[in-house]
A = this chain, B = another copy of it.
Amino acid sequence: MPKPTADLLHGTLDALVLKTLSWGPRHGYAVARWIEDVTGDDLRIEEGSLYPALYRMERRGWISAEWGMSELGRKAKLYRLTPQGRAQLKVETSQWSQFAAAVSKVLLPA
């Protein structure tokens, strides 16, 4: 298996992050860790993708940020889902399901 995900992440990162935050506020680093843990490292979230994505979503009002402390007592920026973000998550989740189903229809038949 050469390069696992390649470009596939395109367009799904937002949904992944929103979903992660739907379990409760987290800082960026923890979001990446969580996603990697849940997927057994099948999904790697690069920091160079993560932070721009967080700003983007904050700008769009999907998440809000405030400085606080991590579980380990370090300075960390905590992100929290806004109501708009929750709505967006719903939209993107259903889009993903629809898209994945459509791709499977093409790709999976023997």
Docked-complex contact B43 and A2, CB < 8 angstroms = no
List the number of copies, as a whole number: 2
- Which of A56-64, A73-81, A99-107 is found at the contact surface with chain B? A99-107
Interface of A is mostly: helix
Interface residues in A1-27 (C-beta closer than 8 Å to B)? 1-2, 4-12, 15-16, 19-20
The size of the chain A interface, using a CB distance under 8 A, is: 37
Closest chain B residue, CB of each to CB of A104: B100
- In the bound assembly, the distance between CA atoms of A11 and B3 in angstroms comes to 12
Taking a contact as CB atoms closer than 8 A, the residue among B5, B12, B35, B93 that contacts A8 in the complex is B12
Binding site for B on A (CB under 8 A): 1-2, 4-12, 15-16, 19-20, 35, 38-40, 42-43, 91, 93-96, 98-108
